[in-house]
Amino acid sequence: MHKFVIEGGEKLIGDVRISGSKNEVLPILAATLLSEEKSVIRNVPNLSDVRLMLEILEELGCRTTFENHTVTVTPYDLNRIVASYDLVSQMRASFCVLGPLLSSRKRAEVSLPGGCVIGVRPVDLHLRGIKALGVNYELDHGYVKADGRNMRGTRIFLGGNSGSTVTGTANILMAAVMAKGTTFIEQAAPEPEVEGLANMLNSMGAKISGAGSHRIEIQGVDSLRGADYDVQPDRMETATYAIAAAITKGDLTLRNSKYENLIAFWEKLKETGTQVDQVADDAVRIQGCEIQPTDIVTFSYPGFPTDAQAPMIALLATANGISIVTDTIYPDRFMHVAELIRMGADIRKQNNSAIIHGVKNLSGAQVMGADLRATAALVLAGLTAKGTTEVHRIYHLDRGYEQMEQKLAQVGANIQRAEYNPSRRKSDRNAA
Ligand code: EPZ
């Protein structure tokens, strides 16, 4: 096991290059199942989630390579239609192979993904979508076993009680691209990651319009060419390093970033008094200051992203006043609060909100990550805390942040990745 050891107090100054987007590349990789030709995907971040998706593609009869941030995928055995529990259960996004398998191979047996610490994470909207397209499926021993031989274009309402679904929209988009006729997806997720997927599918020969809005139209085609696609910059990595600049009162320029994809986040960061300047088409400069409080409510895009909620709470824990942060997408996504309190933060959780009384200084402590963004929040807190912070279970970070300790150290952070052997007693207790 590894941990980060951070000596807080250093201002971060310099340039950080943002990597390709985890949340865009995962459905993009699933989409390579839609063609029998070789696909090339560029600017792919070297993440454990990416490597897991490549394992799933290999289980589904594809040859893959991954070198210098470039992935190639060549399907060779189209009879492989089973995505197994031991792989799919590790990462919800792998459920996105369902749509492409139904489109290209007309059959699929995909394990249900199960939940995780941030919520139940149901897939009822995914299943509503494939059923509307004429797919016959059954839930059998934890698997979705589906027959897509009679798929027809149709109008699908994909909205749920928490708004739209990102991976659900991606799955149904990929299920519909070769369905005979025209499909309309109403209350589609308008996230940039969905728009990127649609752009790649169109470059493969699909006929999709409206991606990036709440209504997407898909005219079914007979087949798709292989892809050659450049992954967009990671929005959440951008937000995380922006907060790293703010929380250390530093001055960072985030290279290879897309300002226009985080408008709600920038507005809230500016409300804390942080200076945010777009200094080039693909660069944003962040200059930290005394942090002022602000109130945040997460929403589907273009609202404030739930994935930036935990990192933002770390910042507001040091603000000059009281902030309230509410998560309408994942009401239980507050595992980071207890750990921040151990670092001296003054936070009270109330239903799906955190009430944060800013403190002058956080203090270094041993803390434990619970999910990707909660662990990132603890690293951010450690960068400003007085003394030493040890962040345990950083395997969560390796899912979604490429070379995080190197990127932080290059701009002045005192951070090391170190080995440690968790005591049996602690791990038993935590498992209880
Ligand atoms: C995507 O997850 C992201 N992951 C998540 O990022 C992100 O938090 C989430 O969108 C919300 O923005 C990827 O894109 C790989 P959802 P996704 O389906 O698509 C409910 C990270 O940290 N819902 O959009 O799986 C659900 O319960 C990760 O990078 C249903 O009710 O999330 C939730 O409340 C974490 N039924 C809301 O919709 C369904 O069938 C959004 O879920 C599907 C979803």
CATH number at residue 81: 3.65.10.10
Among the three residues 192, 211, 230, which one is the final residue of a domain in this structure? 230
Per-residue pLDDT of 383-416, as tens digits, reads 999 999 999 999 999 999 999 999 999 999 999 9
Same domain, 10 and 32: no
Among the three residues 230, 253, 279, which one is the final residue of a domain in this structure? 230
DSSP string for residues in 107-126: EEEEE----BTTB----HHH
Same domain, 362 and 394: yes
Tell me the three state secondary structure of residue 227.
coil
Number of domains in the chain: 2
- Atom of ligand 1 minimally distant from the CA of 301: 12
* pLDDT tens sequence for the chain (432 residues): 899 999 999 999 999 999 999 999 999 999 999 999 999 999 999 999 999 999 999 999 999 999 999 999 999 999 999 999 999 999 999 999 999 999 999 999 999 997 777 777 789 999 999 999 999 999 999 999 999 999 999 999 999 988 899 999 999 999 999 999 999 999 999 999 999 999 999 999 999 999 999 999 999 999 999 999 999 999 999 999 999 999 999 999 999 999 999 999 999 999 999 999 999 999 999 999 999 999 999 999 999 999 999 999 999 999 999 999 999 999 999 999 999 999 999 999 999 999 999 999 999 999 999 999 999 999 999 999 999 999 999 999 999 999 999 999 999 999 999 998 776 545 544 444
DSSP string for residues in 308-346: GHHHHHHHHTTSSSEEEEEESS-TT--HHHHHHHHTT-E
* pLDDT for position 432: 40
The residue whose CA has the least distance to atom 34 of ligand 1 is 329
Instruction: Look up 289 and say whether it is catalytic.
Output: no
Q: To test the ligand 1 pocket, which listed residue (19, 22, 23) has its Cβ within 8 A of the most ligand atoms? A: 23
CA of 162 to the centre of ligand 1 (A): 9
- Atom of ligand 1 minimally distant from the CA of 189: 24
**Cis status of the peptide bond prior to 302, with omega within 30 of 0:** yes
Pairwise CA distance, residues 384 & 363, whole Å: 8
The residue whose CA has the least distance to atom 20 of ligand 1 is 162
Tell me the three state secondary structure of residue 284.
strand
For residue 119, count CB atoms less than 10 angstroms from its CB and return exposed for 0-12, middle for 13-18, buried for 19 or more: middle
- Atom of ligand 1 minimally distant from the CA of 125: 40
The residue whose CA has the least distance to atom 5 of ligand 1 is 307
Q: pTM here?
A: 0.96
Same domain, 255 and 311: yes
CA of 402 to the centre of ligand 1 (A): 21
Indicate whether residue 21 lines ligand 1 (CB < 6 A): no
Distance of CA 344 to the CA centre of its chain: 28
The residue whose CA has the least distance to atom 44 of ligand 1 is 165
Work out the angle between the directed axes of helices 22-31 and 235-247 (0-180°, nearest 10).
Answer: 170
Same domain, 336 and 405: yes
Same domain, 150 and 271: no
Same domain, 110 and 130: yes
> What letter does residue 305 receive in the DSSP assignment?
-
Among the three residues 163, 196, 230, which one is the final residue of a domain in this structure? 230
> What letter does residue 256 receive in the DSSP assignment?
S
Pairwise CA distance, residues 111 & 144, whole Å: 6
Indicate whether residue 168 lines ligand 1 (CB < 6 A): yes
- For residue 250, CA distances in Å to 142, 257, 414 come to 49, 18, 14
Name the residue type at position 156: I
* pLDDT for position 117: 77
Pairwise CA distance, residues 190 & 64, whole Å: 30
Pairwise CA distance, residues 323 & 84, whole Å: 43
- Atom of ligand 1 minimally distant from the CA of 165: 24
Name the residue type at position 30: A
Indicate whether residue 306 lines ligand 1 (CB < 6 A): yes
Question: Do 409 and 421 touch, CB atoms closer than 8 A?
Answer: no
- For residue 281, CA distances in Å to 164, 255, 258, 277 come to 29, 10, 7, 11
Same domain, 204 and 334: no
Pairwise CA distance, residues 414 & 138, whole Å: 53
Per-residue pLDDT of 226-250, as tens digits, reads 999 999 999 999 999 999 999 999 9
* pLDDT for position 426: 52
The residue whose CA has the least distance to atom 7 of ligand 1 is 307
Q: What domain range is 223 assigned to?
A: 22-230
Same domain, 200 and 117: yes
Same domain, 129 and 43: yes
3-state secondary structure 352-369: CEEEEECCCCCECCEEEC
CA of 164 to the centre of ligand 1 (A): 9
* pLDDT for position 118: 79
Same domain, 394 and 368: yes
Same domain, 218 and 243: no
Same domain, 206 and 124: yes
